[in-house]
Structure 1
Amino acid sequence: MPVTQESWKATRVAIADTTDRFAELVVRSDPAAMATPDWSVAVTAAHVASLAWMNTGLVGPDARPSVAAVEDALLGCTVDTVAEFNRRALEVFTERDPRVLVTRLRADVDHVLAATEDTDPTRTVTWLGGSQLPIIGMLAHLVNELLIHGHDIARATGADWEIPAADAALFFEAFFVELLRRDIGDLLANDEPPRERRIAVEFRSDHTTPVTLVLHRGEVSVEEPGGPTDVRIRFDPATVNLMLFHRISKARAVLSGRVLAWGRRPWLLPAFLRTVRCP
C-alpha cells in the first residue's frame, strides 16, 4: 500500500498529540526517578528531545547544527550499535531540565511539522547507517520513541499512559516497511552469513495493510501478500512494539494472544529475525 494523504495526515496528528501527552507526563514526574535501568526520567526525556532536535536538521532546508554534531555516529550506526549512537547524542545534547526539555521538544516538533507541511511524505533523508528514510517514516519513528519512553516513565512513576494501537502501528507500516522499500544502507548489517534459502514472513494486524517481508541472500525486500510464505504473524501493534524494544518478553506477548505466529516453516522465524530487526 503506497503512502497516502490520509496516512500522512494521521502520522502528523499522532506526533503532535503524542508530543503533548509526553511533555505533560514528563513535567508531572520526578526527574530523578529511574525510567529504565540506565536512564532517569530527565535523561529519558533528553534522549527523546535529542531525536526531535536531530530531525530538525534532517528536514532542512536551512542548515542546522544538530545533524553535523553527530553525523559520523549517525552514518556509521547499525541496529546493533544504536546504544552508542544514543550515548553520543546525549553527550552533544546536554540539557537535562525537564521543563526546558519539553519546551525544546515541542518547538522542534513544531519546526519539523512546519518544514514538512507541503513536502512529499515519501521524500527521503539520509538516516542511521546511511539508510534512506522517508519523511513519513522519520515522523513515525519519533512517535514510537515517544510512546515507548512514555511507557517507561509512566511505569516508573505510577502514571497512566496509553499506547493507541493505530499510533503504534505507524512504527511498522510508515517507518519500518517504508524504510525497507528503499536503500537501508548498513543499518541491518550483522555477522549472520547470507542464506541461500528464501524466508518469507507475512504480517497482518487490524491497523496495518497486510505485507510480506522476504529475506534472501542477506537482502530484505517487501512483497504484496498472497505469495508463498513460511511464517504468518498476526499482531497487536502496541504489544509487538513493546516486545521488539524488550519492554515485555516474547513469551508474555505470545501468551497474551496479541502476537501469533504459525505457518509451514515457523522454525525459520528466528533466522529471519536475526537480520530483520528494529533500531
Structure 2
Amino acid sequence: MERQSADWPPVITDEEWTRVRTALEAATDRFAILVRSVPDPNVKATPEWSVTDVAAHVANIAGLYVSITSTDPERAPETAPPGCMADTTLDTVAEMNAADLRELTERDPVKLADLLRERVGALLRATAETAPDAPLPWLGGSRVPVAGLLAHLLNEILIHGRDIARAARQPWPIPPEDAAWFLELFFVGVTSYGPGHILEIPETGEPVRTGRLVAEFRSRFTTPVTVVVHDGRVSVERPGRKSDVRVSFDPATLNLMLFHRVGKPRAVLTGKVRIVGRRPWRLRHFFRTIRIP
C-alpha cells in the first residue's frame, strides 16, 4: 500500500478512496449479519455494554459521521452532531458516548443492524463526490480528511465486531489490509491536519516534560511513517529522522493493542508486533501518551 509522494501527508489516491469505501461497506454487512445472528443480544460484549449496546454505539458513530458530511438535510439521519463535540477530549469522550446511547433507545438487534446499514449507506452517498483529502471537523477541535473519517468508522466496526463475535463465540477475521487504513488514513490524517486537543495528555497543572520519542512504524500494508512524541504533543512525518524505535507490525494486531483488546506482551511474543532500535524501551512512552478514541 506504500504511497510514493513528495508531499506530506501523502496524497490519498482515487484507488485508496475506492478501497476504503469498499472495505467499509463490506465490514458493515458482516457486522449487521453478526448482530442479527447472536442468540442472546443481552450478553455482555464489553465489561460495560451488551451486544445491542455495542451495535447502538456503532450506529451512533455512523449517524454522527453522516451529519458531519451531509450537505443535504434530507439525507442526514435524525441524529445531529452533539453540541459538545468540539470540546470533547479523550477524558470526556466516554461521557459523550454514554449520552448518545441513552438518546438511542432502540435495542432490537435486527433494527439496529438495519439502522447501521442505512446510516453507512447514507455516509457513502454523502461522500461519493467528495475529494478524499477534504478536511472535516472532528472531536476536540481536530480535523480529519474525509477518507480518514471512513477509516475510523471502519476500525470501530472491526474492533467492536470482534467484541460481539467473542461474546457469541463466533469467528471474526480482521483482514490486515482493512485494519491498515486506520493508521494510513485516520491517524496520519488527524495528526497532520490538526489534532486539536484530542490527542493531548491530560492537563495536570504542571508543565509537561515527557522528552522526545521518535518511532518509525512499518508494515507491508502501510506507508512507512515516523511518529514523534514531544512533551505530550504528537506529529507524523516521512521516515528519515534518526529513530529511537522501529516497529514492524500486523495492522490488525496493532489496532487491537492500541484499543486494549490484545496485551502488548502477547502482541510481541506472537511476532505480530516487532520492536527493534537503539532505545526500544522508549516505546513505553509512546503507548502512555498515544490514546486514541
TM over 0.5: yes
Q: Counterpart in 1 of 2:13?
A: 4
Q: For residues 231 and 191 of structure 2, what CA distance do their matches in structure 1 show?
A: 15
Deviation digits for residues 126-150 of structure 1 (CA, Å, limit 9, x no counterpart): 1111110111111101111111111
Change (3 A) 1:256 1:56: same
Q: What is the CA distance between 1:79 and its match in structure 2?
A: 2.1
Q: Counterpart in 1 of 2:25?
A: 16
Higher mean C-alpha deviation, range 191-200 or range 269-278: 191-200
What is the aligned residue count?
A: 277
Q: Which of 58, 64, 76 pairs up with 2:68?
A: 58
Q: What is the CA distance between 1:67 and its match in structure 2?
A: 3.1
The equivalences for 1:164-203 within 5 A come to: 164-191=175-202, 193-195=207-209, 197-203=211-217
Q: Give yes or no for contact 1:211–1:225 (8 Å, CA) kept in 2.
A: yes
Q: Counterpart in 2 of 1:138?
A: 149
Q: Counterpart in 2 of 1:163?
A: 174
Q: For residues 237 and 49 of structure 1, what CA distance do their matches in structure 2 show?
A: 24
Q: Percent identity?
A: 50
Q: Counterpart in 1 of 2:290?
A: 276
Q: What is the CA distance between 1:50 and its match in structure 2?
A: 0.7
Q: Counterpart in 2 of 1:226?
A: 240
Q: Counterpart in 2 of 1:34?
A: 44
> 3-state DSSP class of the match of 1:264?
coil
Q: Counterpart in 1 of 2:250?
A: 236
Change (3 A) 1:219 1:38: closer
Task: Give the aligned residue type for 2:53.
Answer: V
Q: CA RMSD in A?
A: 1.6
Q: What is the CA distance between 1:194 and its match in structure 2?
A: 3.5
Tell me if 1:87 matches 2:111.
Answer: no
Q: Which of 102, 105, 116 pairs up with 1:105?
A: 116
Q: For residues 111 and 57 of structure 2, what CA distance do their matches in structure 1 show?
A: 13
Q: For residues 288 and 247 of structure 2, what CA distance do their matches in structure 1 show?
A: 16
Q: What is the CA distance between 1:248 and its match in structure 2?
A: 1.4
Q: What is the CA distance between 1:217 and its match in structure 2?
A: 4.1
Task: Give the aligned residue type for 2:67.
Answer: G
Q: Counterpart in 1 of 2:227?
A: 213
Q: For residues 217 and 247 of structure 1, what CA distance do their matches in structure 2 show?
A: 27
> 3-state DSSP class of the match of 1:143?
helix
Q: Counterpart in 1 of 2:83?
A: 71
Q: Which segments of structure 1 move beyond 6 Å, counting only runs of 4 or more?
A: none
Q: Which runs of 5+ in 2 are unaligned?
A: 1-9
Q: For residues 235 and 93 of structure 2, what CA distance do their matches in structure 1 show?
A: 22
Q: Give yes or no for contact 2:21–2:150 (8 Å, CA) kept in 1.
A: yes
The equivalences for 1:255-274 within 5 A come to: 255-274=269-288
Task: Give the aligned residue type for 2:79.
Answer: S
Q: For residues 29 and 292 of structure 2, what CA distance do their matches in structure 1 show?
A: 25
Task: Give the aligned residue type for 2:114.
Answer: T
TM-score (norm 1): 0.94
Q: Which runs of 5+ in 1 are unaligned?
A: none
> 3-state DSSP class of the match of 2:92?
helix
TM-score (norm 2): 0.90
Q: For residues 44 and 282 of structure 2, what CA distance do their matches in structure 1 show?
A: 37
Q: Give yes or no for contact 2:199–2:233 (8 Å, CA) kept in 1.
A: no
